[in-house]
Amino acid sequence: MADIDNKDQADLDPADMEDVEEVEEEETGEDVNSKARQLTAQMMQNPQILAALQERLDGLVGSPSGYMESLPKIVKRRVNALKNLQVKCAHIEAKFYEEVHELERKYAALYQPLFDKRSDIVKAMYEPTDEECEWKADEEEELTVSKQEEMKEKAKVEEEKRDEEKEDPKGIPEFWLTVFKNVDLLSDMLQEHDEPLLKHLQDIKVKFSDPGQPMSFTLEFYFETNDFFTNQVLTKTYKMRSEPDETDPFSFDGPEIMGCTGCQIDWTKGKNITLKTIKKKQKHKGRGTVRMVTKTVPNDSFFNFFSPPEVPESGELDEDSGAILAADFEIGHFLRERIVPRAVLYFTGEAIEDDDDDYDEEGEEADDEEGEEEADEENDPDYDPKKDVQAECKQQ
Amino acid sequence: MEGDHSETRGKVGDQVMQNPQALAALQDRLDSVSHTPSTIESLPKSVKRRVNALKHLQVRCAHIEAKFYEEVHELERKYAALYQPLFDKRRDVLSGAVEPTDEECDWHSDREEEEELAEELKKKAAVEEKKEEPVVEEDPKGIPEFWLTIFRSVDMLSDLLLEHDEPILKHLQDIKVKFSEPGQPMSFTLEFHFEPNNFFKNTVLTKVYKMKSEPDPAEPFSFEGPEIVDCEGCDIDWNKGKDVTVKTIKKKQKHKGRGTVRTIIKQVPNDSFFNFFNPIKVSSDGELDEDSEFTLATDFEIGHFFRERIVPRAVLYFTGEALEDDESFEEEDLEEGEEEDHEDDGDEEEGDFDPKA
């Protein structure tokens, strides 16, 4: 039987199609390339050629402008014209971000009534109505509960009733403290001795700089009256750079935090948890006599958040302070963008699952190096308490 | 009476701890709780009630947030008009339509000076050679292969680029971003402007990205701002024989019964950047197979990247400066997602014969 050569698919009888099996395929129009491919395959097997290729590639790595250098001068000239246009774009972008900031200020005023209501509920100044408390998710959860869990629920409900008869918790106790504990970024700063204080934290607000002022935002921490300090509000202001850097205009990617200031805390006597007293035994090198010295040294505490390292005139920071500031900026940004706007979701934990998905662990930076040394502080005349502040935090 | 309670609880506790089923159930409960740091379930009912009130407030926040993003979109539209004259000038310079003045080309950089010195030296050394070489180079117009170079330099784009796409992309003159008008559903359009060429008749190829800008009523707290949810391409009016998105293959087939052999010609999809204008459609029920979902997700990422980075900062991708910045982010991407090997030859696997194709 004759071959039906080169018939177009469309012309064939569909019935014919059923009983065929494929034997062989070839692509048309690819014959020219197959020789090139063969040659390339051979080349890739030659170690000398591979090495030469690798060298060439290495030469290009880290110098993307390697290509640029090879451009004719007349073209490079035009590329520079485009770069100048790009600088103009960066300045327009800066104005865009200023307007976004104004938009954020405008919307802050729209969110504020809702945040105020939140604060009133937390502080027990307002009891929400039944309608305001209806949340469908509860119903769904109950439907899927198994018999075993039903019994557990029943036992729990009875327990709760008994609890409620004992004490009537006001508002949402320890709301912000719980948020702090749930969020890694914040719990890392939290020390045990901070907790009794943070129970008094009633609200955190974000305030935006006014038009015409240099761009900044302020975090306000509102505390109810307490034994520890007399301030009602503790503040932290973050200053932002909202213009491209003249020497590096293309690094501009929107406003960036570049500095911050805290506030003075009026501690009640003996209650300043950012300080601790230590006793040191000191031995006189010459005479051999021993004496006891009492020193006040910085203590690890969340409340150091309100006295961040200062950036000196020269703009140069030591490595430790640099790291502390970088972490501080991250926290300020996080409080503003995520915590304050969505506090209840961090209280329940719902938002934490989301955040975990967005951020991959990049491996932890090894900053434990100093933490494990347990030098004999007492007998070391060179002991510098400041170095130990970070180490102590790991030990606790 | 409190003593009695705790004693009873203690006894029950002991019994539970000895019952394997109960232990298993407890373990399950603990496992599910371990991801919920604050033990909401253990809160008194009156407090839980108030937490729910806060959640309601949070839903209202989400709706205000949606309006915020609408206004940001309007701001972006307003600023797009402010950038446009600069982007138009860019297009004119790179296409060679306008020659920039010396002043416009003045760029201060140490590197430049080094380059100039190096060039001076090279010129001196090459003077002899030059006399022998015939002048081959034409005076290059504008910035040749501007956009093609960008495609080659950016991983996300070079992944889509095939050899046969390059001659076509040499004709790409400009990429513009257009924003949806107020009142319209939120979207943006990428316009690829081509100079007249042998491949297709269109002067512009478009890709529209549609966005969801309202919180999902079923999941109001997952709202993080507008998100691309769908896209639409355009028809390309290919000249005869120039369609790089299809290829013809010959297949030899053997009739199982009769044993006769025949050769048929088929047209099958070909890998090409230009499939970008013919994306997978999200079916009405929103269900897609895993591969398609991944392809679509990548497509959305590319659309977003064109809009946010490439178009606004094209020259920096041309020179490579922006690549150094982006590199750290791109690497994270690779670690997170699954690297799927997209076999080009999927259609030609044995046993894949589809009479309807």
Q: Per-residue pLDDT tens for A65-81?
A: 567 888 899 999 999 99
pLDDT at A299: 94
Q: Which residue of A has its CA nearest to B67?
A: A107
Q: How far is A234 from chain B (nearest CA, A)?
A: 24
pLDDT higher than threshold 80 for residue A89: yes
The reply to whether B52 touches chain A by the CB within 8 Å rule is: yes
Tell me the two tokens of residue A261: 């200031």
Nearest to A114 among B25, B60, B149 (CB): B60
Q: Mean of the pLDDT values across residues B35-47? A: 73
- CB–CB contact A16 B52 (8 Å): no
Which of B266, B275, B265 minimizes the C-alpha distance to B245? Answer: B275
Beta bridge partners of A7: B264
B residues 109-148 lying closer than 8 A (beta carbon) to A: 111, 115, 119, 137, 139-140, 142-144
Tell me the two tokens of residue B10: 């203690």
- Look at residue B120 and give its three-state secondary structure: helix
The reply to whether A75 touches chain B by the CB within 8 Å rule is: yes
The reply to whether B18 touches chain A by the CB within 8 Å rule is: no
The reply to whether A345 touches chain B by the CB within 8 Å rule is: yes
Under 8 Å between Cβ of B175 and B191: yes
**Which ipTM score applies to this complex?**
0.73
pLDDT at A35: 65
Residues of B in contact with A110 (CB under 8 A): 64
The reply to whether A25 touches chain B by the CB within 8 Å rule is: yes
Tell me the two tokens of residue B77: 């539209």
Tell me the two tokens of residue B241: 């024989």
Q: Mean of the pLDDT values across residues A243-257? A: 91
Vertex A253, ends A250 and A259: CA angle to 5°?
110
Q: Per-residue pLDDT tens for B197-247?
A: 999 999 999 999 999 999 999 999 999 999 999 999 999 999 999 999 999
Q: Per-residue pLDDT tens for A114-167?
A: 999 999 999 999 999 999 998 876 544 555 556 667 777 677 666 666 555 556
For residues B52 and B58, give the distance between their C-alpha atoms in angstroms, rounded to a whole number.
Answer: 10
pLDDT higher than threshold 60 for residue B312: yes
CA distance between the termini of chain B? 81
Nearest to A20 among B254, B313, B322 (CB): B254
- CB–CB contact B37 A173 (8 Å): no
Beta bridge partners of B219: B216
What does B282-318 look like in DSSP terms, one character per residue?
PPTT----HHHHHHHHHHHHHHHHIIIIITTTHHHHH
Q: How far is B19 from chain A (nearest CA, A)?
A: 13
The runs of H, that is alpha helices, within A173-273 are 175-182, 184-187, 195-198
Chain length of chain A = 396
- CB–CB contact B325 A128 (8 Å): no
Hey, how many other C-beta atoms are within 10 angstroms of the C-beta on B54? 24
* B2 band by pLDDT with thresholds 50, 70 and 90: very low
* A230 band by pLDDT with thresholds 50, 70 and 90: very high
Tell me the two tokens of residue B206: 């478009």
Farthest-apart Cα atoms in chain B, separation: 111
CB pairs under 8 A between A and B: 271
Residues of A in contact with B323 (CB under 8 A): 64
Q: How far is CA B333 from the centre of its chain?
A: 12
Q: How far is A172 from chain B (nearest CA, A)?
A: 6
- CB–CB contact A7 B55 (8 Å): no
Q: Per-residue pLDDT tens for A306-350?
A: 999 887 767 677 888 888 899 999 999 999 999 999 999 999 998
Q: How far is A230 from chain B (nearest CA, A)?
A: 29
